A and B are shown apart, each in its own frame.
Chain A
Amino acid sequence: MYLYLPVALTSINILVPVGLGLAVGLLSGLFGVGGGFLMTPLLIMFGIPSTVAAATDSNQIVAASTSGTYAHWKVGNVDFKMGLYLLVGGSLGGVVGVQGIKLLRAMGNADFVIKMTYVLMLGIVGVYMFVESLQSMKKNKNAVVEEAKTEKESAMGRFLKSLPLQTRFEKSGITHSVFVPIVLGAFVGILAAIMGVGGGFLMVPIMVYMLRMPMHVVVGTSLFQILFTCIEVTFLQAYTNHSVDFILAVLLLLGSTVGAQVGAVFGRKLKAEQLKILLAGIVLAVTVKIIFELTLTPSLLLSQAGGH
């Protein structure tokens, strides 16, 4: 059955957005990412204008991350305090990132820098997570004591402990200076704004490897943080660009809210390393897809720009 989308000005088979929502929602509940890096290009592929695809996806993520956050919160896997500090940093970073984009555009060649940043970030995160989780899976099997790593950690730990305003994050079982999550949140915020993505794929590894949060708390906390970011983005997109398609968002969230719940339940059955290596695999797959897009001659050399 087809439904007409009043803002996208196109008609779509309802099974497409519901199915896409279900799949991406599942990943969202499993890994704590918004999934925009998958959803937006897929929607464009199905004929949705790019501006509407990105804006509507953020609306849909509001629903999926509410559903996912709730599911993770029920089992005590959301660190609200950490989430809030990351949010503060993220919004500061977002402001800086938007200015950065303006600067890049003024210098020309902005698209090149954006695309390269995106590919590099995806590639680095994907490879690092993949290798790291593969190693820790092996180590767990052989029950080797992580001596070298402990040494390294303590050096890094000493520096972090020397920072002022140390505070305890109960849910994650860690202590950090408040500046650590704010600065890291800002770093993700800047990059996310420049790349035009939510940044979940960056936030998750940062929480795991730099903040040293337990993987299952990372997923819940990341979703909590994404929820607020996407509420803000949805409103701005609806208000300034008129690019949110309500009907498309509803179709997507029908799938994604359910997917997020299933993902959260399924995620509890997986070990942290398994989750990490799966996410790494997806990030690497997206990297490869973008590399193909960059190198193969596109079928059309023109595409819709913003506005009309």
Chain B
Amino acid sequence: MHMHLHSFIIHYARFIGSTRFLGTLLLLLVYSLFQLVAAKPASAMLTARANHDHITIDFFYHGSSVSVRGEADPNVDLVIKITSPEGHQVLKQKGKVGGMLWMNVGQLKFENTPNFYEVFSTKKIDDILSRDEMEKYTIGYTALQKHVEVSPVANEEEKAKWFSEFVRFKEDSKVYATSFGKIETTMTKDGRQDYYILTDWPYQAQPGDYLVSVYAVKSGKVVEQAEAKVNVEQVGMVKALATMAKNNAAFYGFLSIGVALGAGFGVSLVFRKGGGAH
């Protein structure tokens, strides 16, 4: 269509034979095209920024806090999801043996599972997002259950049972959580919406990269998405020891034994006076 308009203008310019007229027309055309492009989608960029996005673990680390803030359209709900990369996890499974004794009866493998999964939303997720959208973006435990593969399980019912046990296990170690109403929102002067959440970062969350995904939600659908990152890293002696335990295992073993022997003898010598002879 633009091509047609373009050739029409050129023809018309030739017809008129005035270069000044042509220049003015071209300017008008460029301006109107620019207007067209700029006005296309109604939404105005969702932003997300994680403060304290580099958490360092030293000896005195006992968890931290992470805040996410940004701007969104005024009439949307927000969902914030923090996850670690997906992987597979093997867990021991307890069951009843002989109808009365609880013990480990086997292992369960969970595929496509993040080690860390937290979802916060302005309202209850079920009320603001359709099932399809939740599944598409893996938002909420129901969607995560569909996404995760559990083996060995006989049927969907069994999968559901063990997935809910899995969530309980993860929530118990503080690395899985869902909640709504914790995101604060305020309207800005220019009619936009500022959002902010401050959440505890559990010390149980392992070192690694975490992805913060923010979704703007309207009429049951995700209309916009923004991302930020949080990196958790061991530093100093904590890092040195953890690395040594993995990469220099023999030396680490000798060191541990040496220190234990030294401490045992050291304390003995201190106690020798008070110990008393025969």
A261 to B273, CA, bound (A): 12
A116 to B172, CA, bound (A): 29
A23 to B57, CA, bound (A): 30
CB-CB under 8 A from B57, the residues of chain A are 4
- A76–B278 touching, CB < 8 Å: yes
**Also in contact, A70 and B238, with CB within 8 A (given A301-B93, A303-B94, A305-B91):** no
CB-CB under 8 A from B32, the residues of chain A are none
CB-CB under 8 A from A111, the residues of chain B are 103-105
Closest B residue by C-beta to A241: B249
CB-CB under 8 A from B265, the residues of chain A are 66-67, 70
- Give B172 Cβ to nearest chain A Cβ, in Å: 6
CB-CB under 8 A from B97, the residues of chain A are 112
- A244–B252 touching, CB < 8 Å: yes
- A63–B108 touching, CB < 8 Å: no
A6 to B58, CA, bound (A): 9
Residue A242 at the B interface, CB < 8 A? yes
A261 interface neighbour in B95, B108, B275, Cβ under 8 Å: B275
Closest A residue by C-beta to B58: A4
CB-CB under 8 A from B107, the residues of chain A are 305
CB-CB under 8 A from B16, the residues of chain A are none
- A298–B94 touching, CB < 8 Å: yes
CB-CB under 8 A from A84, the residues of chain B are none
CB-CB under 8 A from A244, the residues of chain B are 245, 252-253, 256
- A247–B241 touching, CB < 8 Å: yes
CB-CB under 8 A from A295, the residues of chain B are 100-102
Residue B260 at the A interface, CB < 8 A? yes
- Give A167 Cβ to nearest chain B Cβ, in Å: 26
A258 to B259, CA, bound (A): 15
CB-CB under 8 A from B189, the residues of chain A are none
- A66–B271 touching, CB < 8 Å: no
The secondary-structure label for the interface of chain A is helix
**Also in contact, A250 and B264, with CB within 8 A (given A265-B276, A294-B101, A302-B166):** no
A273 to B159, CA, bound (A): 55
CB-CB under 8 A from B207, the residues of chain A are 9
Q: Binary interface profile of A, 273-308, with partner B (CB < 8 Å = 1, else 0)?
A: 000000000000000000001111110111111011
- Give A111 Cβ to nearest chain B Cβ, in Å: 5
A242 to B163, CA, bound (A): 29
Q: Binary interface profile of A, 208-239, with partner B (CB < 8 Å = 1, else 0)?
A: 00000000000000000000000100110111
A296 to B94, CA, bound (A): 12
Residue A7 at the B interface, CB < 8 A? yes
CB-CB under 8 A from A250, the residues of chain B are 259, 263
Residue B206 at the A interface, CB < 8 A? yes
A71 to B89, CA, bound (A): 46
Residue B203 at the A interface, CB < 8 A? yes
A6 to B256, CA, bound (A): 14
- A246–B102 touching, CB < 8 Å: no
CB-CB under 8 A from B278, the residues of chain A are 75-76
- Give A187 Cβ to nearest chain B Cβ, in Å: 25
A260 to B267, CA, bound (A): 10
**Also in contact, A307 and B165, with CB within 8 A (given A4-B58, A66-B261):** no
Q: Binary interface profile of B, 222-244, with partner A (CB < 8 Å = 1, else 0)?
A: 00000000000010011101100
Give the B-binding residues of A (Cβ under 8 A).
1-4, 6-7, 9-11, 47, 59-60, 62-67, 70-71, 74-76, 111-112, 115, 231, 234-235, 237-240, 242, 244, 246-247, 249-250, 253-254, 257-258, 260-261, 264-265, 293-298, 300-305, 307-308
Give the A-binding residues of B (Cβ under 8 A).
57-63, 89-95, 97, 100-105, 107-108, 162, 165-166, 168-169, 172-173, 203-204, 206-207, 234, 237-239, 241-242, 245-246, 249-250, 252-257, 259-261, 263-268, 271-272, 274-278
- 10 A/B residue pairs, CB under 8 Å, sorted by A: A9-B204, A62-B264, A65-B264, A66-B260, A74-B275, A75-B276, A75-B278, A238-B245, A239-B253, A246-B256
